[in-house]
Every structure is written in structure tokens, then in C-alpha cells.
Amino acid sequence: MHRPMSTSSLGKPQGTIQDSGMFSASKLTPEQIDSLKQLAAKGATMSDLQKHLSEEHKISITYMDTRFLILDLGIELVEEKEEQPKPEETPEAIEAEVTPTGSVQVTLDSITVPGAMVSGKVTFSDGEKAVWMLDQSGRPGLDPDTAGYRPSQEDILEFQTQLRNLIEKQGA
């Protein structure tokens, strides 16, 4: 005896596997694969490849499917090299412009640590190093390389002076 499949409240048969809609690399012809590889070699981005598939081959896939497709086909995207900042814009140049009044050296990170407005590194007069940060509320934090290290009062004052100058120079 044949029993009909039960249906959900939406009227769809239950117990069937829904097509996930993911695109498979096996659906591409060798010519389409070659065109993707050539575009990638010329510096195309993932979005460029997705657009190419849509416009040239009438294949509309999601960005995520494009990403998986690139991985499946072993296509390597050529990343453009980031333009180097002018020497006067680098943190090292900013540090060089701030004339230390003592032997404490303070630098500003080009990429701020998570949870901080600004961060950087400091070397105190005794050679001890630490990472410093100002959190979102403006509270300072200091994480020395040596656990339990406490800089001298003179070094703290020098650090504060140089930090203030560095941040004012940076405009942060």
C-alpha cells in the first residue's frame, strides 16, 4: 500500500532534502574556469569574478558561493600591495619629530590594539619595555614586558609628557 507523504503547515512535503542552493564548480565549463583564472591573475577581486560570472556567463551566485568556488578551483587572488605612506606620515617619523627630553622613548602603533582609542610602546630609561593604551574612556593602561615592573616617578612623568606630545602631533 502506498501512503502519501505528510506535508508541513506550509504545504511542503516533509522528509525531502531541500536544495541548499550552493553552487558547485562542476557546473562550470573548462572555458569558464579558464576565464576566471585569467581574470584573477590580472588582479580581479572576488566581487569582480562574481560580476564576470553574472554578466558574461549568466551565472548568478552569492559572494559566499564565489568564495567557495575560488577555493574549490584553487584560484589565487592577487592582492595589490598597499601603497606605502610617505616617510613623514609613518609612526617612526612622528616619533623622530618628538624630541625626547629624557631617555624614555614612546611610539604610537599604526594599528591600535582592540579596545583602545590609541596604543603604542614605551621604553623606559632602565631599558624596560611596555605596551601602553588609552581605552575608550581615556583611561591609561600599561602592560610591561616584565611582570610586576614599576617605572620610576621621573620616567612616568617623562612618559606622560612624550605621550601627550605624540598624540597632539598625531591629532588623535
Mean per-residue pLDDT for 105-120?
87
Write the single-letter amino acid at 92. Answer: E
Quick check: 8 pLDDT over 80?
no
Mean per-residue pLDDT for 23-38?
88
Quick check: 126 pLDDT over 60?
yes
Specify the pLDDT at position 172.
53
CB atoms < 10 A from the CB of 116, how many? 16
Per-residue confidence band for 128, with pLDDT thresholds at 50, 70 and 90: very high
d(CA 68, CA 72): 6
Q: What is the pTM of this model?
A: 0.41
d(CA 152, CA 126): 9
Distances, alpha carbon 32 to alpha carbons 37, 44, 55, 125, 168, in Å: 9, 15, 12, 63, 54
